Amino acid sequence: MLNAVTVILNGILHDRFFMPVISALEALHKRGVGHYAIAPKNMYITATGKVKISGFASENERKRGTPLKSQLFSGAAAPEQYDDNFPLDDITDIYGFCATLFYALTGHMPKSAVERRKDSRLLMSTTTVKRLPPHVVSALANGLQVERENRITDFLMSFVHSFPLLIQQRQFRTKFQEQQA
């Protein structure tokens, strides 16, 4: 069985599993629909190898300070979800997505947002950091910024910049397929 680090280094995790999720979340947000509970518990891989996202709910269930009881996933919920009536958006889902990717690569969730407000460091073993390409570490660090204004703000573009070689390969394949048609 391949571990997540091997898979992401070979581009499989990125191309086959996470790019479809990024594209779907981006498309939903363009239509005004957010998930706000992206977490390992709400993403799974089917027997046919497709990634499915579950756990869609009302925005009011995914933040504090509303009449509904909030359902937040520790480590994956963005800091703004703990603030009373703070508007949620794609930046909120970017945090949850990056927390899920962090979990896939390290085997543990980041500290909860409440804890990270006191100490924003992301804790990864030295062994893990050394095995990951610098652009992956950068993508995680930028997507898991505690302060929203410091967090990456665009799903697709932030990961396009984080995985340049894989995107170049995808563009080459697309051009090659167009030439063959």
Is the distance from CB of 100 to CB of 51 less than 8 angstroms? no
For residue range 14-33, list pLDDT tens digits in order. 556 777 888 888 888 889 88
- What are residue 45's phi and psi, to 5 degrees? -105, 125
pLDDT digits (tens, 9 = 90+) for 124-148: 888 888 888 787 788 888 889 999 9
* 8 A C-beta contact, residue 38 and residue 77: no
Give the SS3 label for residue 121.
Answer: coil
pLDDT, tens digit, for every residue of 37-57?
Answer: 999 999 888 888 788 888 887
Residues 51, 5, 107, 17, Cα dihedral to 10° = -10
Identify the band that residue 157 occupies on the pLDDT scale cut at 50, 70 and 90: low
> 34 — phi, psi (to 5°)?
-115, 165
pTM: 0.78
Are 130 and 140 within 8 A, CB to CB? no
Residue with tokens 């407000």: 117
